[in-house]
Copies of this chain bind each other. A is one copy, B any other.
Amino acid sequence: MKEFELTILGCSSAKPTTRHMPSSQILSYRGKLFMIDCGEGAQRQFYKYGFNHNRLSHIFISHLHGDHCFGLIGFISTLGLHERTGEIVIHAPADLEKLMLPQIEYFCRADSLKVRIEPIPSKNAVIYEDNSLRITSFPLKHRVPTFGFKFEEINKLPHINKSETDRYNIPLRELARIKEGADYVTEEGEVIPNSQLVTPPSPSESYAYCSDTKYTPTIIPYIKGVTMLYHEATYTHDMVKTATSRYHSTAQQAATIAKEAEVEQLIIGHFSSRYKDESPLLKEAQQIFPSTLLAKEGLKIKF
């Protein structure tokens, strides 16, 4: 069963265009929503695509350039207007706290929503974990401290081998324990080993977000083999000098990372405003890594 659903809210680079919105995404996993980056207008996109803010408690900010975080204060403020209670945790580079807290204090002082800002450690680290999902941050190479994020399924349970559980007339109430690893003991005292009653779990799916960054193979160990990789591709490769000097990547470089990291699928985004049509970026990436998609506002992918 496909448990992840990624929705692109915005995929432009810093200069605004009327064709794209600045960076923001929603990753949905088993009913929980995770926001990745929050450019200006992300809240409007969030509601436009029908998301429920009660399912969102964690926002991940890759770095403190405006096109990745200027939508935060508006979104937090709107959650307050909607009387959202509980807590929102913003995982972000350390400086966000000094920039954001005075704004929250001023504009949201009457709200009952608690906002906690969790600085992202400078080295790779697990920054969120629950029973089924682990989120890891790792450093990218950009002009300011910038982090990639990997979301991976953990503790996936095996499937029930229905023909075997039927053979022993095992009652439904036992199945949860069996999925957790228990053997089954029949009324006659016969022990049916767990291995006979289950088949291996589905493979763990995973998602990695890498934006903004120059080409850097140092990230490969962190994203090795992920199901889905979002990697920035601000420029076509004829502009590789510009890309490198601005600490951005070309489509060819994004595809090279995807290939070397042996991911299943690549989505490229963070397009420079110079491209009125992104098909040259797609074509360039697909020559190296055929399973490449272009990001687009409203694009939803399950995996």
Contact = CB atoms under 8 A, between A and B. Distances in A.
Contact of A106 (B73, B82, B99): B99
A95 interface: yes
Give the most central of A44, A48, A102: most B CB within 10 Å.
A44
Contacts of A170: none
Contacts of A65: 107
Contacts of A102: 98-99, 102
Count of identical protomers in the assembly: 2
Interface in A17-54: 18, 40-41, 43-44, 47-48
A154 to B, nearest CB: 36
A55 interface: no
A73 B78 contact: no
Interface string A87-112: 00000000100110011001100000
A64 B95 contact: no
Contacts of A99: 102-103, 106
A258 to B, nearest CB: 29
A66 interface: yes
A41 to B, nearest CB: 5
A99 to B, nearest CB: 6
A74 B66 contact: yes
Contacts of A81: 14-15
A144 to B, nearest CB: 10
Q: Secondary structure at chain A's binding surface: helix, strand, loop or mixed? A: helix
A70 interface: yes
A73 B66 CA distance: 8
Interface string A55-90: 000000000111000110110011001100000000
Nearest to A39: B74
A16 interface: yes
Given A16-B44, A18-B47, A70-B74, 11 more contacts: A15-B81, A16-B74, A18-B48, A40-B41, A40-B71, A41-B44, A66-B73, A66-B107, A70-B77, A99-B102, A99-B103
29 contacts: A15-B78, A15-B81, A15-B82, A16-B43, A16-B44, A16-B47, A16-B74, A16-B78, A18-B44, A18-B47, A18-B48, A40-B40, A40-B41, A40-B43, A40-B71, A40-B74, A41-B44, A64-B106, A65-B107, A66-B73, A66-B107, A70-B73, A70-B74, A70-B77, A98-B102, A99-B102, A99-B103, A99-B106, A102-B102
